Amino acid sequence: MSFFEFFIKNFSEVLSQTFEHIELTLISLFFASLVGISTGILLTRSQKLSRPVIGFVNIIQTIPSIALLGFLIPLFGIGVVPAIIALFLYALLPIVRNTFTGISEIDGAIIEAAKGMGMTNSQILSRVEIPLALPMIFAGLRTASVINVGVATLSAFIAAGGLGEFIFRGIQLNNTYMIFAGAIPASLLAVFFDSVLGIIQRNSKRAVKPFLVFIGIILLFYAGRDFQIADEERSFRGGFPIEFIEREDGLKGLLKEYNMEMDYVELEIGLMYKSLQNGDVDVVGGFSTDGRIQAYNLAVLEDNRNFFPPYFAAPMVRQQALEEYPGLRSALDKIAGQISDSAMIKMNYEVDELKKQPEEVAKSFLRAQGFKVDRINEGSVDVVIGSKAFTENYILAHIFSIIIENYSGINTELKLGFGGTKLIMDAMKIGEVDLYPEYTGTALLVLLKPDEDKLEDIIKDRAKVFNYVKESSLKEFGFEWLDELGFNNTHVLMMRKKDTQSLSLKTIGDLREYLEENSNNSNP
Amino acid sequence: MIDLRGVSKYYGDAKVVDDVSLRIEAGETLVLLGTSGSGKTTLLKMINRLVEYEEGSIHFDQLDIKDVDAVQHRRSIGYVIQNSGLFPHMTIKENVSVVPRLLKKEPAETNKKINTLLSLLKLEPQEVLHRFPHELSGGQQQRIGIARGLAGDPVALLMDEPFGALDPITRKEVRNDFKELLKDQKTTTIIVTHDVLEAIELADRICLLDFGRIQQIGTSKELLFHPGNEFVNDFFQSDRFQAELTAIKINEIQKEVEQTSSVLEYLKEAGVDQSTVMDSFYEYKTNFIAH
C-alpha cells in the first residue's frame, strides 16, 4: 500500500484529527491572545512588574510538555481542557513579550506628541501604541501559533485527540505512513496559521476587527460544546497506551476473547498511571511486575481466561558455557521459582520509585531470602551476563551475577543495557554474552514465531509454552533455558485497589460482568 | 493672554525653573531662548501641563490652568515638537485631524481649515493628505507638524525647537513660511530655541533664560543694545554682528524702502549698494543705544 492509498483510506480520520487539532490550537491561541496582550500592555504601565512576570512566563516555556501535562492532570484531569490549558501556557511567552517590547520600543517623542495634543491615556493606547506595536504583536501571535500547532500533537497523550494520535501511534507501530498522515497535515497547519495571521496583519486596518469577532463566535461555540462534554457524568472507561490498543495480543484481542465492550482513551504510559490515580480513567493496561503497581496502590485483575500469553522469566544460557562451567547450572538452579510477582514488583518499585541502585536491590532481596551475597571472585572473566535496557532486566542480571559468584567459583562480568531483543541475541550468538534473563512469551512470539496452529495449541498453557521454548531454543540456537524464576511479567489490566474492593472485582471476567450490568451509567 | 506668576520646578534638589514670572499678550510671539539645561523646554511643557510645577501659578485669561482638566487644557493648545512627532501609522490627513477629532469638530469645517493651513504652508493638500509621513521630506513633515498644531484653532501654540532637525536651507524656508502663516493666523505663540538668529527673526519678544532664571525679557533690539547683565551681553557676543543686522528692519533705517525684512536679508537678496545701507545701520544703532 502506498502512502497515498493509506491517506485516502484513512482520510476521514485525518480530517477529524485535523479539525481537533485546529480546535485545540485556536481556542488556546484565542485565550492566550486575550491574556497575553493585556498582560503585555499592563507590564508597559508598570516596568517594575515586567521582569518577574516575563521571567515567570519564560519558566513556563522551559517546562517539558509531558511534564506540564503531568502537572495539569491532578488539577484538570485528562482530555481537551488540560490540553488547551497547556497550549495556552506555552503560547503566553511570545505574545506577552512581543506586546511588551512592541509598545516599549515606540519612540518616546511620539507618545509625548500624543499626550501634548490632548489624548487621554486610553486614547494613546488604542490610537497610537497598539497600532504602532501591531506588527510586533502579530509576530508574537504567529510564533505562538506555530508553537501551538507543534505542541498540540502531544495532546494525544492525554486523550485530547489531534494529529498527534497518528504520529505517536505510527511511531509505536513503526508505521511510517501513519506518522506522515499526522505529521504532514500538522506542518501544513503550522504554515497555514502563520500565513493567515500574516495576511491579517498586512490588512490589519480592515481585517482585524471582523476577524476577531468571527473567531470569537466560532470559539465560544466550540468551547461551549467541549466544556459541556467535560461536565457530563462520564461512564466507566479505560486508558491504554497506543501500542497496547493496537496489538492483537493487546486490547483488541482481549475484548474479543472476553466478549466485552468498554469505553477507552489513548494515554501516554507515564501519564496513564497518573490519570488512573487521579480518577480520570478506571482501568489501565500495563505489565504485571511494574513497580508503579505498588507506587500507585493498584490491584491487578486476574486473567481468568488466560488470554495474555505467559511471560515467565528464566535464565537463557549458551550451551557451551554450561558445559565449560558445570557450576553455573547448579548455582542458577538455587533461585529457580524463588521470585514471586509481588517480590519482583517490590524490587522494580525500589529502583524506579525509590531510586535505589539495581545491584543494591538485588543484594537485599537475596539476603532476605537467606542467600550468601558477599563473595566476589577475582581473576579473569569466565562468564558474561547480559541484560536488556529496562529496570527488571538489570535487577535480574545482578541477581544472576551474585548467585553465580557466591555459589560457584565462577567469575562473572556484566554487560547491561542492550537496546533490544535482537541486539542481545546477536551478542549471544557470537559468544559476547553467555546468558541473560529472557521471558517465555518474548521467546515464543519474537524469537521462535511458530505457525498459528501450534501457537493456538500451546499459548494458553504456561508449561507447554515453556517446554516448547526450551526445546526449540536449544535446537535452533544452542541456548538452554534453565528453570523459570517464578514470576510472570505479562500484560495485565489494573484498577485502583479501593475500586476493586468496593466493587469486589477480582478477575477480568468480573469486570466484564460489572460492565454489562452497568452498561449505561456512571463511574464507580 | 498667558500669565506665569513665580513658577518653579524641582527635579530632586535641583531647581530647573526658578521663580519665573512673565506675561504673554494675545497674538504675541514669545521666544524662550537659552542654552541646553537652561530650563526653557521644561518651562514650555509646564504651560500645557506635560510637566507639573510645584510653586507659582499659570493663568490663561484669568483662569488658573490647574482648575481645568489637563487633557481638555492640552486640546486647546497647539503643540509642535522637533522631528515633527507625526504618527507614522496615520496618513497626513489623519495626523492633522487628530485634535479636531478629539474636539469633535465638524469634519467639513476641519477639512476646510486643513486646506487653508496647508496652502499657507506651501503644501498642495491633494498631493500630501493621503500619504504617510515617511513618504514626505523632512521639511514637509515639519510643515505638517505645524499644521497639526494649528488645526484645532488653539488659543496658543507651543513649539519646542520646531526647526531644530532641519538642514539650514530647508530650515530657513520653513521658518519664513511659518512667519507668513503667523501673520495670517495671529495665534499666541511660544517657541523654544537655542538659535539666536532664529529667535531674533521670529520673536516679538525674547525671554533669555539661564539656570532656570529669566536673565532678560524684551525685544531683540533691547537685548542686543541694552543687555541687562553680563550674561545677556556675552550670550550674543559670538553672533553679534549678524544678530544686529537681523534685528533691525530695513525700513527702520531707510524710510524710502517699504520692505520689512531684516537688514541682513535685504543685503543678501537685493544686492544694493552696501555702503549706504551700512552707514544708515550704524547711525540707527548709535541712536538706539543712546536713546
Which string of DSSP letters, residue by residue, matches B24-46?
Answer: E-TT-EEEEE--TTSSHHHHHHH
Given a contact cutoff of 8 angstroms between Cβ atoms, the answer to whether A488 and A499 are in contact is: no
A389 three-state secondary structure = coil
Instruction: Please choose, from the candidates A455, A489, A468, the residue with its C-alpha nearest in 3D space to the C-alpha of residue A312.
Output: A489
A491 three-state secondary structure = strand
pLDDT tens string for chain B (291 positions)? 899 999 999 988 888 999 999 999 999 999 999 988 888 999 999 999 999 998 999 999 989 999 999 999 999 999 999 888 899 999 999 999 999 999 999 999 999 999 999 998 989 999 999 999 999 999 999 999 999 999 999 999 999 999 888 888 888 889 889 988 888 888 999 999 999 989 998 999 999 999 999 999 999 989 998 998 999 999 998 888 888 888 888 778 877 777 778 888 887 776 666 777 888 888 888 888 887
Given a contact cutoff of 8 angstroms between Cβ atoms, the answer to whether B38 and B200 are in contact is: no
Q: What is the DSSP letter of A128?
A: I
Q: How are the residues of chain A apportioned to helix, strand and coil, as percentages rounded to the nearest 5?
A: 65, 10, 25
CA A221 → CA A27, A212, A214, A297, A359, distances in Å? 10, 14, 11, 41, 57
CA atoms within 13 A on the CB side of A470: 14
Taking residue A11's Cβ as centre, other Cβ atoms within 10 Å add up to: 11
Judged by CB atoms closer than 8 Å, whether chains meet at A119 and B71 is answered as yes
C-alpha cell at A148: 501551538
Judged by CB atoms closer than 8 Å, whether chains meet at A114 and B81 is answered as no
* pLDDT number for residue A192: 92
Give A125→chain B minimum CA distance, Å: 13
* pLDDT number for residue B275: 75
CA distance A166 to A181: 7
pTM greater than 0.80: no
CA atoms within 13 A on the CB side of A138: 20
Give A45→chain B minimum CA distance, Å: 18
Contacts of B110 (CB under 8 A, 6+ apart): B97, B100, B101, B151
The residues of A whose Cβ lies within 8 A of any Cβ of B are 109-110, 112-120, 123, 128, 131-132
Chain A residues closer than 8 Å to B148 by CB: 117
Residue B104 contacts A, CB cutoff 8 Å: no
Chain A residues closer than 8 Å to B85 by CB: 109-110, 112-113
Q: Which of A116, A128, A131 sits opposite B50 (nearest CB)?
A: A116
Judged by CB atoms closer than 8 Å, whether chains meet at A115 and B74 is answered as yes
* pLDDT number for residue A354: 87
CA distance A367 to A346: 15
Those residues of chain A that have pLDDT short of 50 are 228-229, 231, 522-524
Given a contact cutoff of 8 angstroms between Cβ atoms, the answer to whether B78 and B27 are in contact is: no
Chain A residues closer than 8 Å to B98 by CB: 114, 117, 119
B183: left (phi over 0), alpha (psi -120 to 50) or beta: alpha
B59-85 residues labelled b (16+ CB within 10 A) or e (exposed)? bbeeeebeeeebbebbbbbbbbbbbbb
Q: How are the residues of chain B apportioned to helix, strand and coil, as percentages rounded to the nearest 5?
A: 45, 20, 30
Judged by CB atoms closer than 8 Å, whether chains meet at A116 and B81 is answered as yes
Chain B residues closer than 8 Å to A132 by CB: 87-89
ipTM comes to 0.88
Given a contact cutoff of 8 angstroms between Cβ atoms, the answer to whether B78 and B29 are in contact is: no
Taking residue A113's Cβ as centre, other Cβ atoms within 10 Å add up to: 26
Q: What are phi and psi of A328, to 5 degrees?
A: -60, -50
Chain A residues closer than 8 Å to B83 by CB: 109
C-alpha cell at A137: 504583536
Type of residue at A5: E
* pLDDT number for residue A224: 63
CA distance B149 to B162: 11
* pLDDT number for residue B267: 79
Chain A residues closer than 8 Å to B71 by CB: 118-120
Contacts of A117 (CB under 8 A, 6+ apart): B74, B75, B79, B98, B99, B102, B148
Interface test with B, best of A115, A117, A205 (most B CBs within 10 A): A117
A-B C-beta contacts closer than 8 Å? 52
- Rounded to 5°, the CA angle A345-A351-A355 comes to 145
CA atoms within 13 A on the CB side of A288: 22
**Which pLDDT tens digit goes with each residue over A242-290?**
778 877 778 888 898 899 888 888 888 778 888 888 888 999 998 888 8
B178-205 residues labelled b (16+ CB within 10 A) or e (exposed)? beebbeebebbbbbbbbbbbbbbbbbeb
A157 three-state secondary structure = helix
| Residue ranges with strand state E in B141-273 | 156-160, 188-193, 205-210, 213-218
Q: Which of A112, A119, A132 sits opposite B50 (nearest CB)?
A: A112
* pLDDT number for residue A524: 46
Helices A164-172 and A176-202 pack at an angle, to 10 degrees, of: 150
Judged by CB atoms closer than 8 Å, whether chains meet at B74 and A118 is answered as yes
* pLDDT number for residue B242: 86
